[in-house]
């Protein structure tokens, strides 16, 4: 963990020396880390999609063979084997945690107490945004990927829509974790959420092309 921290910390300082702006350095570092983890993230998305499809098939199977327990058991065993294989891919996401958490602590421990050209209304990246613009932006960006299923072009079989209660929870949680957080952390959260949005768009386009072929 400390080795990852040191590598990211060194890279952040290098990016600052290159750009002369800590805000830009944070954005570039965050994007670089997310690009590095992109293969793992894609594998996780594929596994989650497979699990969702399997879950729907198992539900239909239970309904179809509700009066034939023996046949249901035989068919269920086939799906459970597929489910176990799909779950292995989800554990890949755990490999991302040390890198993501190290990146978070690198930004928290950033030595500079200065502003950034990206957010001109703040004087320091180490204080919260008193105008609450950063929390509001983060809330909107966090909710954006969950709005894609409501756009006809991005509707994909096997990818469910989010419930209204989950929308509310994400919105409140997004504001809660950024309202008192340093702007540097808000910048990190916004960047990683925007990356997730484009990643989700790319994944849905990929699934859509597969279903059309």
Q: Model confidence over 2-29: pLDDT tens digits?
A: 888 899 989 999 999 999 999 999 999 9
Proportion of the chain above pLDDT 90, given as a percent: 38
Residue 110 CB partners (closer than 8 Å, separation 6+) = 12, 22, 26, 125, 126, 184
User: Which among 25, 5, 1 has a CA at the least distance from the CA of 13?
Assistant: 25
pLDDT at site 134: 96
Q: How confident is the model at residue 63 (pLDDT cuts 50, 70, 90)?
A: confident
Residue 182 CB partners (closer than 8 Å, separation 6+) = 108, 125, 126, 127, 128
Report which of residues 7 and 96 the model is more confident about. 7
Number of domains in the chain: 1
100: exposed, middle or buried (Cβ count in 10 Å: 0-12, 13-18, 19+): middle
Q: How confident is the model at residue 173 (pLDDT cuts 50, 70, 90)?
A: very high
Q: Model confidence over 145-170: pLDDT tens digits?
A: 888 877 777 766 555 566 778 888 99
Is the pLDDT at 89 greater than 80? The verdict is: no
Domain enclosing residue 58, as ranges: 2-212
pTM, two decimals, is: 0.81
φ, ψ of residue 68 to 5 degrees: the values are -135, 80
């Amino acid at each position: 963990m400390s080795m990852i921290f040191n590598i990211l910390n060194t890279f952040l300082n290098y990016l600052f020396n290159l750009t002369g702006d800590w805000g830009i350095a944070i954005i570039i570092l965050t994007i670089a880390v997310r690009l590095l983890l992109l293969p793992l993230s894609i594998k996780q998305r594929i596994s989650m999609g497979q699990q969702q499809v399997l879950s729907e098939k198992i539900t239909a199977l239970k309904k179809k063979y509700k009066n034939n327990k023996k046949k249901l058991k035989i068919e269920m065993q086939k799906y459970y084997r597929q489910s176990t294989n799909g779950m292995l891919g989800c554990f890949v996401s755990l490999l991302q945690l040390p890198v993501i958490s190290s990146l978070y602590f690198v930004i928290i421990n950033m030595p500079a107490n200065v502003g950034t050209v990206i957010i001109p209304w703040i004087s320091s990246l180490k204080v919260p945004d008193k105008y609450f613009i950063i929390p509001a932006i983060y809330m909107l960006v966090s909710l954006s990927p969950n709005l894609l299923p409501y756009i006809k072009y991005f509707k994909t079989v096997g990818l469910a829509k989010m419930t209204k209660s989950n929308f509310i929870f994400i919105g409140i949680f997004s504001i809660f974790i950024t309202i008192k957080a340093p702007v540097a952390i808000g910048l990190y959260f916004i960047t990683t959420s925007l990356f997730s949005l484009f990643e989700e768009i790319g994944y849905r386009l990929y699934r859509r092309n597969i279903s059309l072929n």
